[in-house]
Structure 1
Amino acid sequence: GASGARLVTTALYQLERTGGRFALCTMCIGVGQGIALAIERV
């Protein structure tokens, strides 16, 4: 699927909408694994 793309797009949209500076996206991959992405709006 496109869960990662959806999360990042939503985070970027919310940063723009609220004037925020940082966003953090996290996802569970399964079997104790995960991934995270920190975004800074400059």
Structure 2
Amino acid sequence: MNFPDETTDRFLKAYIYAVHTFFAVCNFFIDLYKPLCYNKYR
């Protein structure tokens, strides 16, 4: 299957954006829950 370059480029940009967003959300929740875990297990 042969894609035009524009479609592939757009797909890659959307994929990279989704991955970055996913990791940003994960880091946000890790930072959010880290103090709670430290306080609970200290």
TM-score (norm 1): 0.43
Larger Rg: 1 or 2?
Answer: 2
More strand by share: 1
More helix by share: 2
Structure with the larger RCO, 1 or 2 (CA within 8 Å, 6+ apart): 1
